[in-house]
Chains A and B, each alone.
Chain A
Amino acid sequence: MASREVVVAELPQHSKPAVGSLSDLARRLVDPFRTVSPPEPRPATGFFTDTTVCIGCKACEVACKEWNLLPADGLHWTGNSYDNTDELSATSWRHVKFIEQLAERPSAAPVAGATSAFSLERLLQEPKDGRWLMMSDVCKHCAAAPCQQACPTGAIIHTEFESVFIQPDICNGCSSCVSACPFGVVTRSSLDGHSHKCTLCYDRQRDGLVPACAKACPTQSIQFGPIDELRERARARVRELHGRGVAEAYLYGDVPTASYSELNSFYLLVDRPAVYGLPDGPVNPWLSMKGDYLRTIGSGLATIAALLAAIWLGGI
């Protein structure tokens, strides 16, 4: 890294950017309107998150924060298992969720043969009537993303890898994307006023690297790659789990539904989506937009007609 910085610094500078408050103002006004030709499309990539092998180590969260230079959120005890990240936010683009599904039972019931308060025998004889689910949540990079549809500035785009990316120099913090996202991913930062979320490590992808979270995941719970390949792999994994008796395993977001597109970041789950903090049946808000426009324009015209009718009836 250091040597590359030296090389860049030694490059001949052909032009010096204008400095001063007027040129700053001109740049602020003009630069957002400059356009460049989009890069050539590349094979779509995404994440397949297999929640059955997540161990909740939070390496993905740490790697994401480190690579993207995201600030710490401070230590915040949520009281919810080991989850102190709480939710996806402008400064937490990965969120490991912990779901303790342990049945209530009377504590300290004596076990035959056990002599001390803690023993291996006692542990082995305890009924296994619960489980601990973990899932690393992230932006879903929807194929038809409501946040991208909502964005009035064109800041949110689909990249050449078909991931959803917020251009930080364009976003003006209008929050339309926050309102539109059914997964609660996009968040406006209170620090810079702009919306932020996972970029699917666009910068790393352009350099042929794997996103930081997938690279750091020690159990391959987070898998990255071409999306078609991931879907095949995910279906094979579900078949394998079914064969091993995990009948409840299924994929969430691998194929489109009547109300929502497929997700380029999809999941293997073993319980209802809502248990993981995912909508059971996500709906793209844009499905109702045309009807809303028609109803609204109709109401406006009907009210104007009522106004004119009242004025004429009033004798004008």
Chain B
Amino acid sequence: MRIGAPALATPLRGGYAERTITHAPAWGWLVAWDLLFNGITTGLFLVAAVCELAALDVFARAARAAYPVALVFLLIDLASLVFDLGDPLRFHHMLRVVKLGSPMSVGTWCLTLYSLPLTVAAAISVLPGEWPSLEAVRRVAIIVGLPFALGSAVYKGVLLSTSAQPGWKDARWLGGYLTSSAITLGCAGMLSLSAVMGEERAVAAFRFALGILVMVNLIPLGRLAADVRSALVRIYSPRELVGLTAVCLVGGTLLPLFFLLAGKAPGVLVAAALCIALAGLAIRFAIVRLPHASPWRTERQLRGNQGSVPRRQKTWST
């Protein structure tokens, strides 16, 4: 493929050089919520499972409460995935093939295989009374679910970065940020559950751990921001960028740290978790918007809004 023909003697105008070539996928606000719910369910499961396996006596009660909550968030996430399809009634076509080269296929299978042990773990967790004979089953389900939960958390970022879309295609650290953020969200969820249940030792452990994770999460976020800097500068005004930075640093980091240091009251700790979730949602909205706000589309949308150039109406009738 030869690139760049000899320059013409006279600078000429015209052509399509100023346009964005790619078509943005029809992934809107529902996908931003999907990214958040995916992060919460996988993060909650990963943190609950890892902590329970590491120190059973301290985290067992909170973990038992976490699996049903993770299942609820998984169901909401799956529903948002289905409704985001162009033809939701064909959602089962996703299971026709296993394609390791397709991040969406990998994600579909990971979510499917993650849902099964999660359902088992959640079901056993909510059984009334003690069921020692089922405890081994629950633990096996948790161990089996771990790699698929990690796969479900991992695929989202790779799905978006393996694309030709402006912004996403350069976002080498998008998957890293989303996965790290998912585990941070899971830790925040576990802290909230522990606080509400009055598990003091678990609260103490998760308070400290969440403070660390909130800061650790800034590393992939910073790398991601550097990756997509040019796309961010192109689509957001300086004022919006300041707002986005404030959301990341103040809403998603400093405020939660302040709440974590402020006390052990459940309300304060839940507020810290909510701050992390809301900041995560805002960042996910900004990420999802990247390919949708190219200069060309923005210009067309502006003209459309002014009513001078109505968007074409497509009908099957000729």
Contacts and interface: CB of A to CB of B under 8 A. Distances in A.
Interface of A: 28-29, 32-33, 71-74, 76-79, 81, 86-87, 91, 97, 99-104, 129-131, 133, 146, 149-155, 170-176, 178-195, 247-257, 260, 262, 269-283, 285-286, 288-289, 291-293, 295-300, 302-304, 306-311, 313-316
Nearest to B5: A248
A71 B317 contact: yes
A168 to B, nearest CB: 10
A296 B176 contact: yes
Nearest to A270: B5
A280 to B, nearest CB: 5
A178 B6 CA distance: 32
B90 interface: yes
B92 A316 contact: no
Given A103-B12, A179-B164, A308-B50, A174 B104 contact: yes
B176 A175 contact: no
B108 A300 contact: no
A292 B158 contact: yes
Contacts of B2: 250-252
A86 B86 contact: no
B205 A292 contact: no
Interface string B170-196: 001111111110111001000000000
B127 interface: no
A179 B25 contact: yes
Interface string B1-31: 1111110101011111101111111110000
Contact of A182 (B27, B85, B164, B175): B164
Given A99-B16, A153-B94, A273-B3, A292 B157 contact: yes
B19 A277 contact: yes
Contacts of A149: 101-102
A310 B213 contact: yes
Given A297-B154, A306-B216, A74 B312 contact: yes
Given A184-B22, A192-B87, A154 B96 contact: yes
A265 B96 CA distance: 29
A316 B55 contact: yes
B101 A179 contact: no
B116 interface: no
Lowest 5 A-B CB distances belong to which pairs?
A173-B86, A193-B86, A296-B175, A277-B16, A299-B176
Contacts of B4: 272, 280
Interface centre among B10, B12, B317 (most CB of A within 10 A): B12
Contacts of A256: 1
Contacts of B314: 71, 73-74, 91, 190-191
B137 interface: no
Contacts of B47: 307
Given A153-B97, A182-B164, A315-B204, 6 more contacts: A74-B313, A152-B94, A180-B163, A184-B23, A292-B157, A315-B205
A309 B212 CA distance: 10
A71 B14 contact: no
B237 interface: no
B30 to A, nearest CB: 12
Contacts of B183: 300, 303-304, 307
Interface string B69-110: 000000000000000011101111110110101111100100
Interface string B38-56: 0000000011001100110
B236 interface: no
A99 B12 CA distance: 10
B122 to A, nearest CB: 21
